[in-house]
Structure 1
């Protein structure tokens, strides 16, 4: 069995569509529109006619459209209630909640293949509880617009409704305040424009108001080229190519690696912040696959999730200006092309062994992460402030975390905050086989799209009710959706009423549990200036640290009197208070370098982290000595701290290395572990000789030698490839496979310009393998007809025979500890999938070709046909073929490159699989004997 089957595919394509699937025979599931296959007829006795049967009338059971509230598990003391459901809303992609508790919903009825399902375009609807019963009873269409097609973000901030709809970030102004967009009165503006991914999941996501008064948003890795209101143009590309959706504004692959007007190269998905008018955009994180949303808490910490390719979804804090690692730093190569010997998928996919990449956070495996939120205050009680919530649609759960500071980073311990699927029998997600694994079981149909905290202090979760998530599929014709409320048992909602024209009303707004409601108070109090300082300063004593933090941010922007309240907090005994005060004063641009000189000696690694990050664009003569002090306090272990130091040294690495080496360096063989890591992070040409010395020093541990070798691989200097060749030629070097891998990898990218291919030939290190034709075999015309699903399922499989038969699968799949690294690993797939799904995937490999595993056919000029997965294009083009073999094809040898429309997995007729053999393989995978 080859790797392109959806057997265990795990690209988590965010939120997809809804269907109701009904069981049509034991264990066999089909879509709602599919016809139930007839049962085999009982043959009539010989010479007798079968008796006529009256036509049967079968009553159709209405398809479910909601997961009942009593099916959910939540922490003790909380309860789930249905706040709104279809027909009040349909296919919710994102929600926000205004100051009066109305829930605004961005709908995605016209998602992907159903883009023409709804005449007039998609809608923004407003849901209200007009009776105070704790349940919505009214739905109003704010706007329906042909330009809206599955928008993935909505934010309601004062009278502005901000909708994320590629290629534009749109602002609708509800001047009349009647929650209906009237083109004769209200305004529709394009705040920013230039985002790829119209009607694509990896595109423009929602806006969040930060505690600093800035607007935050993000974009997936379909790419963007946009100009902010200050006139700066940003160019963000990546190796991700998904047809027209990644080239609607600018071809993502062609602009990959180009500098933006801010002087930096940004790659893939990114997070940005800006003034509310769209000016002064600043990109603050990049190289995601597709972060669906960001949560910005009142301390200024930013959290997000990111989906996988394959099983390595994650929830992570965002390190300011951090690189998440999904593509190469130049934006040219996907992670699979750079996966090193011995690396597991999470390490390779998020490049956790590459300098310049931030820590990956909580990597939990396959899934489909969506909306995030941070709970700070409200109705849940004193146990819950500091709760990070992350929707995971592929796993029918909203994860909970209480992030704990750990050095310069955070420790994230995950738990299930809300789930319909306590048994964790997942289905319908890409990492489980996509459509092949859908079920009609209600626990698997909860697909949380977004989560918000309301002004009443309750938590609201929008469900895109669906048997399928990911893969751009949309199967449901009911377009169902539900909003659940999570609150204490017996909760009676109370939404504070306030007058934003008064200081008291503005303070009430600032204290709101709802993040975008807080902005209304922030802006008005800021506009009052020093007059409102006493009222805001009073919040510094609030027992809730998040409310106190909001006051710190605001006071820093309220003139000298406000700043005077914040500066003393830099000497607070509380680490978090000092951190927030530093961040707030920096954002207000108050004596930043002088403050850096003071705070660089702070006892908190988190505060020193912020100082390092603030030095990123500060010239070397002003920042070098501060960075030396930061380096001196590195413990040799804290990767977040190390990455912050490296970010602060950006653009001046050589000067910083020269300075720290005088203080911390010395003979290469005597480097401390801390200095070795600092050198790895900076990887400047001046290190080449020392790195070579350390790599060859057999008195060092293998890990220390490997670190030196890896650092050398990132040095851009003609001396670096020669040093690597010398290491490769050394006798008894313990990492021979690794060093040869680096040489073969770098000759096609970072070191190509230094003539590495020629050097390797001269030293006998380039063992050029002849290209091998790997055409996907066609089914012979005289091949026996393959068995049907029903024929296989009618048989009893034998696990022992199945283990022997699995040999044919090991050519492309890992099964237990055996097999080739070409297709998905089948051990977990076998444990989690029903027998019916396993059988269907074997018998119909081209039924659903998973993203990232599509085949490509390359024809060479001398007539060879090579079918496989392209890992990287260019010279050479690297292709992974059946059996896991990599072939490197020089550009001059290629005649044509064509995307294949069928799976690379061999069909059962080619493999010679009988019905019994398939039954045996399925039995073995399900037996639990695979180890």
Structure 2
């Protein structure tokens, strides 16, 4: 549905070959995948038939894949969820982008289906329509939470309610609205229930804003309007179950399709590059971070030239060399990333346990990304679950965990993705993946006692955990003993974390946070920091912070740095300084966490930090990096030292670029001084410095402008020349621009610029009126 260029002509011949299959038209006992030699014996139309749905797939050897449902039971699935009964809820998108595709649409609207295996043979034989309406057109997100079903479809995020539990929606309410991206893949996406009792969700870069049910702008955690004045592009959010207390947890993604939350409260996402630039990425989301799709200062795209630009396009795509951009966990190349989860079950093999599992519809693959700790951050590799090696129509759109620990994959099944196109409207499949000899069986959920409710909380299925969480929350003191026991003794740290979140949200929450902060497991200590910073003011957790600041684990220190964000208290300054002094100068994750922790209070942070190092015989190891990351004029003298120092210009480009992010006017005075003095005889450095002087300063400084014009006269790089002319509105360049047009050198760009400049259009008109046919053709 995204990214890969759609090649319509080669596939439309296949559309219309579908006949009226029954709901169980495939071979229920077919569990093997055929090789290429057997596929070669099939015609193209036979390959698309449901009985052959598994034959083009290459599966991990320790797993088995079975077909749960196919067309005509469902078509065009975009998103799924699985309830505690093991039923598969499916969003259909027959009415997908009709103005783009030219495909017919159903005036009755799209459907939300409930598919169920009622006889235990592993195949869906029951199909209910939970909701169908003309207002449902290509929805992209669904979350099933007992009688409440949250559906995301720009411009709305709805809560639908099945009040009498008959499998039909009885009423619908607006949760949020005003979200951009109607009939667009980059709009509103799915919600998930977090271990802390909150909802998490996101939207892509068409979303732009959130309005509440009454149409009023939603305010973020700082009391600011969630919109483009503060945030850029795609965003990820957290809120209460009723939609209150919305927090924006990250921004400047392109199309972050879904968010997955693990039991510790850590967030994981994928993001989609501009089509075809091999820049698809997986992110660990540091809360409140900037993820670099657009230039933070200018809002320019990645293609626009900048100092210290990344040499590789996939990295350039995310402005990774800029201060203030959180690093990527992994870049996976070209793709169309969609559904994602963190698998916390134990049915799948160990290689997949506690790891991300992710759909990428572009390269026809469902993958896992085994994550390893790497300093304050993480690294990851790729491990395929299943790939359509011999079936390029396999388009995994979403993946969910069932109550038994198996996973289900929704297959959009289409000849292509990208450009909001769809070559097929009639097909769609749901597959189940599990180890061999593990048929699909879901026990009836029993939450009648605290012990049984705790067992439900430990289930890998999200709705089961939601029901158990709510039951344990309702039990209150009656559940405390079992939760305390799980938190204290459970051998699975993720189960301990789930129990902890309930305890931390209770009346004695701070006592449990204190215990968690002293736990031997760093993941539990990080969970404690996340809870304490959300639930209690810093004055209450200062003593804990003072202990955690010296934690041996860099990831724990990372979380503590983030917890200090926007806190201007002296306690926060002291903690931040201690953390900054422990920064080793090698860990970008730690550096960006320190930057988040200083956001909005850089003056306070640097005052305390610089005062604390006055008595040191040498600057701390990470000092230069901290000044590079700082957003304060207090960092300017140190940037000046680094730029003035002897050394290769390439080694200084990062420091020149950092000047763009330092507020105030003094940096321009520094740059003019560098041009006139330190780099007087160094034209290459002069040109770099001039790129960072703002227009008003250059126009008011004849000497600097003269230097720039002299340098431009010598440059042989036409694109550099045009960039500088446009940036500094250099009317003196009009004659050369005209010459470039007449000589057919960068004609389009030169023409765009000359018409913007004073006197440019007059020069063009005058030249045209000379009657010179060659000039007239060029113009």
Q: TM-score range by the shorter chain?
A: 0.7 to 0.9
1:320 and 1:613 in contact (8 A); partners too: yes
Secondary structure class of the residue paired with 2:131: strand
Which of the residues 195, 204, 210 maps onto 1:211? 195
Q: CA RMSD in A?
A: 3.7
Give yes or no for the alignment of 1:268 onto 2:247: no
Show the counterpart of 2:53.
68
| Per-residue Cα deviation, 1:587-620 (whole angstroms, up to 9, x for no partner) | 3337344432332222111111111111112124
Q: CA deviation at 1:501?
A: 4.6
Task: Evaluate the alpha carbon distance shift between residue 509 and residue 740 of structure 1 in structure 2; reply closer, same or farther with a 3 A threshold.
Answer: farther
Higher normalized helix content (fraction of residues): 2
1:459 aligned residue (391, 395, 407): 407
**1:707 Cα deviation (Å)?**
3.4
Q: Per the alignment, in what secondary structure is the counterpart of residue 195 of structure 1? A: coil
Partner of 2:83: 98
Which position in structure 2 is the counterpart of 1:78? Answer: 63
Deviation digits for residues 200-233 of structure 1 (CA, Å, limit 9, x no counterpart): 0110000011110000000111133324579983
1:326 paired with 2:314, answer no
User: How many residues are treated as equivalent by the alignment?
Assistant: 704
Q: Say whether residues 1:625 and 2:574 are aligned partners.
A: yes
Q: d(CA) in 1 for partners of 2:759 and 2:270?
A: 39
- Contact kept, 8 Å, 1:340 with 1:348, in 2: the verdict is no
Residue aligning to 1:582: 529
Whole-angstrom CA distance in 2 between matches of 1:551 and 1:760: 68
Deviation at 1:495, TM superposition (A): 1.5
- CA gap of 1:479–1:762, structure 2 versus 1, over 3 A, is same
For the Cα contact (< 8 Å) 1:456–1:493, is it kept in 2? Answer: yes
1:276-334 C-alpha deviation (Å, 9 max, x unpaired): 00100000010000000011010111110001123211011111111100012257322
Does 2:157 match 1:173? no
- Residue 719 of structure 1 and its aligned partner are, at CA, apart by 1.7
Q: Matches of 1:336 and 1:235 in 2, distance apart?
A: 32
Is 2:493 the partner of 1:538? Answer: no
Mapping 1:394-413, distance limit 5 Å? 394-413=362-381
**Cα offset, 1:341, TM superposition:** 5.8
| Superposed displacement of residue 132, structure 1 | 0.8
Change (3 A) 1:889 1:94: farther
- Cα deviation for residue 704 of structure 1 reads 5.2
Matches of 1:665 and 1:885, distance apart in 2? 53
**How many Å separate the matches in 2 of 1:272 and 1:178?**
31
Give the distance between the partners of 2:4 and 2:130, measured in 1 at CA: 23
* Alignment-derived partner of residue 367 in structure 1: 335
Residues 397-447 of structure 1, C-alpha deviations (whole Å, 9 max, x = no match): 1121121222211111122222122xxxxxxxxxxxxxxxxxxxx521111
- Find the partner of 2:180 among 196, 199, 207: 196
Once the two structures are TM-superposed, the CA of residue 176 in structure 1 deviates from its matched residue by: 1.4
- 1:740 has 2:687 as partner: yes
Task: Give the secondary-structure state (helix, strand or coil) at the position aligned to 1:162.
Answer: strand
CA distance in 2, matches of 1:734, 1:470: 51
Partner Cα separation in structure 2 for residue 361 and residue 511 of structure 1 = 27
Shift of 1:352: 1.0
Q: Give runs of aligned pairs for residues 25-44 of structure 1, distance below 5 A.
A: 31-32=13-14
Work out whether residues 712 and 724 of structure 1, in 8 Å CA contact, stay in contact via their aligned partners in 2. Answer: no
SS, match of residue 223 in structure 1: coil
Deviation (angstroms), 1:526: 1.5
Mapped partners of 2:350, 2:130: distance in 1:
36
Which residue of 73, 76, 83 maps to 1:88?
A: 73
Quick check: 1:15–1:201 contact (8 Å CA) kept in 2?
no
**Cα deviations by residue, 1:487-512 (Å, 9 ceiling, x for unpaired):** 01111223232234543442232111
Cα gap change, 1:263 to 1:15, in 2 (>3 Å): closer
Query: Given the alignment of the two structures, is residue 13 of structure 1 paired with residue 2 of structure 2, yes or no?
Result: yes
**Which of residues 298, 318, 325 is equivalent to 1:357?**
325
Whether 1:301 and 2:271 are equivalent positions in the alignment is no
Conserved 8 A contact 2:209-2:227: no
**For residues 673-688 of structure 1, what are the structure 2 equivalents within 5 Å?**
673-688=621-636
Question: Which residue of structure 1 lines up, in the alignment, with residue 97 of structure 2?
Answer: 112
Q: CA deviation at 1:760?
A: 7.2
In structure 2, the residue matched to 1:39 is none
Unaligned runs of 5+ in 1: 1-11, 23-29, 35-58, 237-257, 422-441, 772-810, 813-820, 823-860, 869-879, 897-931
2:134 to 137, 146, 153: 146
Q: Secondary structure at the match of 2:68?
A: strand
Matches within 5 A, 1:453-532: 453-476=401-424, 478-532=425-479
Give a deviation string over 1:781-816, Cα, whole Å, max 9, x none: xxxxxxxxxxxxxxxxxxxxxxxxxxxxxx99xxxx
Contact 2:740–2:750 under 8 Å retained in 1: no
Choose which of 531, 556, 560 in structure 2 pairs with 1:607: 556
Cα offset for 1:90? Answer: 0.8
> Relative to 1, partners in 2 of residues 1:20 and 1:523: Cα closer, same or farther, differing over 3 Å?
farther
The 10-residue stretch of structure 1 (84-93 or 322-331) with the greater mean CA deviation from structure 2: 322-331
1:599 and 1:611 in contact (8 A); partners too: yes
User: Is 1:555 matched up with 2:503?
Assistant: yes
Per mean C-alpha deviation after superposition, the further-off stretch among 302-311 and 503-512 is 503-512
| Equivalent residue for 1:126, pick from 111, 114, 121 | 114
Q: Is the 8 A contact 1:15 1:370 kept in 2?
A: no
Separation in structure 1 between the aligned mates of residue 245 and residue 75 of structure 2, nearest angstrom? 36
- For 1:702-741, list aligned pairs within 5 A: 705-729=652-676, 740-741=687-688
Q: CA deviation at 1:552?
A: 1.2
Deviation at 1:551, TM superposition (A): 0.9
Contact 2:352 2:368 in 1 (8 A): no
**Unaligned runs of at least 5 residues, structure 2:** 17-42, 724-733, 762-779
Tell me if the contact between 1:305 and 1:315 (Cα under 8 Å) persists in the aligned partners: yes
Kept after mapping to 2: 8 A contact 1:18/1:479: no
Give the C-alpha shift of residue 18 in structure 1.
11
- What CA deviation, in whole Å up to 9, does each residue of 1:812-846 have, x standing for no partner? 9xxxxxxxx99xxxxxxxxxxxxxxxxxxxxxxxx
Q: Is the 8 A contact 1:207 1:217 kept in 2?
A: yes
The answer on 1:317 being equivalent to 2:312 is no
Q: For residues 590 and 456 of structure 2, what CA distance do their matches in structure 1 show?
A: 36
Residue 280 in structure 1 maps to residue 264 in structure 2: no
- Aligned mates of 2:405, 2:638 — CA distance in 1: 58
- 1:651 aligns to what? 600
Match of 2:709 in 1: 767
Residues 549, 267 of structure 1: CA spacing in aligned structure 2 closer, same or farther, 3 A cutoff?
same
* Bigger RCO of structures 1 and 2 (CA < 8 A, at least 6 apart): 1
